């Protein structure tokens, strides 16, 4: 995000690889599950973290499924019109839910620190 903003300020052109963060999903997966397990072992409330993770997973896999079904993933279909709208919304939701996971992760770490 930082480099996107810096590039936009310097060049005046908005350039952002929307799918690059999706390639880092395994880190989201590992971190969320790890914090949830520790929280559950300490009997801390982690429902919000798990719910955010569920929504994040649904958004990213939903976008991938849509791309496969419509032919976007294979390049058979052009990313215009309704396809562009659906994919943009899916990826934007994924970003939103990922930010929610980050905030819930900080809250969970704070709870863990107090419990230990």
Q: pLDDT tens digits for 19-52?
A: 666 777 888 888 888 999 998 999 999 999 999 9
pLDDT band at 78 (very low <50, low <70, confident <90, very high): confident
Distance of CA 110 to the CA centre of its chain: 22
Mean pLDDT is highest, among 2-6, 51-55, 78-82, for 51-55
Among 42, 19, 65, 60, CA closest to 112: 42
The per-residue pLDDT for 88 is 83
25 and 70 Cβ atoms separated by less than 8 Å: no
């Amino acid at each position: 995000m930082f480099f996107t903003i810096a590039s936009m300020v310097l060049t005046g052109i908005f350039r952002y690889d929307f799918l690059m963060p999706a390639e880092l999903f395994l880190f989201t997966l590992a971190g969320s599950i790890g914090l949830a397990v520790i929280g559950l072992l300490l009997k801390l409330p982690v429902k919000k973290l798990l719910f955010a993770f569920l929504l994040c997973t649904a958004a990213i896999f939903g976008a991938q499924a849509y791309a496969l079904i419509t032919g976007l993933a294979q390049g058979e279909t052009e990313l215009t019109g309704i396809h562009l709208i659906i994919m943009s919304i899916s990826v934007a939701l994924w970003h939103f839910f990922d930010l929610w996971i980050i905030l819930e992760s900080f809250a969970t770490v704070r709870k863990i620190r107090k419990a230990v």
